[in-house]
């Protein structure tokens, strides 16, 4: 019987095969197609306002911790999401959040978004522990002992940044302030001996000290100015995305792959329990 069917062609074959058998084959084929083929991934806008290394190294080449994390999350989602990192100034980011645009913010902290109670936005587990460190030229190493230990000194900061407790001393003219346009400029300024003391994110300081070979030129005070954790923040409507991140972030934080990426950028401030 099979030989006769084959001789009369494929059209004849399908005409005598029971319909329920054909339907079963189709169901089986659909079931074996990977999810990322069956449906296109949902694109997620990832907003980055930390436009400096190690978070953003090169926008055109998409190099930096932010791009690496976006790629890792895309892989982890197994075709459900595609995370697209984009750099935004903080003011424009605030406008998007206020307008209710859907997206997520990397490296955020509830205190920086007036959400200490975590009721305005949805927050993941911490993805990175960081702190603001006090650096000085190695030949005149300075050990920070609280804001008042800066009294009478000139502090170097990044233009537009606020420094908890130190700003008040600056307002009363107890501490002078000189601003640099970027974290790179700040670290180089201190390393050259032109600046006496500066406050900068440890993640940025570690990156530039390693990249520019300044380990013997920059002293980092044992006591930091402040410590904090960085999280991923999403809009409250994005419950499906949030559910994925709740599971993915802790796994990534503990993975060897994430540890290697942090090491590549000279970052050693991993999440602590």
Question: What residue ranges of the chain have pLDDT lower than 50?
Answer: 1-17, 21-27, 29-38, 273
pLDDT, one tens digit per residue, over 42-71 is 999 999 999 999 999 999 999 999 999 999
pLDDT at 20: 54
Q: What is the pLDDT of residues 114-151, one digit of tens each?
A: 999 999 999 999 999 999 999 999 999 999 999 999 99
Note the pLDDT of residue 87.
96
- Residue 270: per-residue pLDDT: 53
In angstroms, how far is CA 226 from the centroid of its own chain? 19
How many Å separate Cα 157 from the centre of its chain? 22
Residue 35: its pLDDT value, please? 43
- Mind giving me the DSSP string for 124-163? -S-SEEEEEEEEEEGGG-----SGGGGTTSEEEEETT---
Give the pLDDT score at 29.
47
List of residues 6+ apart from 205 with CB closer than 8 A: 133, 135, 183, 187, 218, 220
Hey, which residues does 230 pair with through a beta bridge? 128
How do strand 122-123 and strand 104-108 relate by DSSP bridges?
unpaired
- Domains annotated on the chain, with CATH: 2-32 (no CATH), 37-129+229-264 (3.40.190.10), 130-227 (3.40.190.10)
Look at the alpha carbons of 270, 111, 186, 217 in this order and tell me if their dihedral is positive or negative: negative
């Amino acid at each position: 019987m099979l030989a006769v069917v084959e001789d009369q062609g494929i059209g004849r074959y399908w005409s005598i095969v029971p319909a329920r058998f054909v339907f079963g084959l189709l169901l089986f084929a659909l079931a074996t197609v990977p999810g990322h083929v069956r449906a296109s991934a949902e694109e997620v806008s990832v907003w980055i306002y930390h436009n400096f290394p190690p978070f953003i190294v090169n926008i055109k080449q998409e190099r930096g911790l932010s791009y690496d994390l976006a790629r890792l999350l895309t892989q982890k989602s197994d075709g459900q999401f595609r995370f697209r990192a984009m750099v935004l100034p903080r003011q424009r980011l605030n406008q998007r959040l206020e307008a209710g645009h859907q997206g997520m913010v990397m490296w955020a902290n509830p205190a920086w978004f007036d959400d200490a109670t975590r009721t305005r936005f949805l927050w993941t587990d911490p993805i990175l522990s960081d702190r603001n460190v006090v650096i000085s030229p190695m030949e005149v190493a300075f050990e920070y002992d609280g804001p008042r230990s800066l009294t009478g000194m000139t502090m170097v900061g990044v233009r537009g940044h606020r420094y908890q407790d130190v700003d008040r001393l600056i307002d009363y003219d107890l501490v002078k302030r000189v601003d640099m346009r970027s974290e790179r400029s700040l670290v180089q300024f201190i390393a050259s001996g032109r600046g006496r003391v500066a406050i900068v994110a440890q993640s940025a300081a570690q990156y530039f000290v390693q990249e520019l070979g300044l380990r013997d030129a920059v002293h980092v005070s044992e006591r930091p100015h402040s410590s904090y954790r960085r999280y991923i923040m999403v809009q409250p409507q994005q419950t499906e995305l949030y559910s994925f991140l709740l599971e993915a972030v802790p796994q990534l934080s503990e993975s060897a792959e994430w540890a290697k990426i942090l090491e590549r950028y000279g970052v050693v401030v991993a999440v602590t329990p």
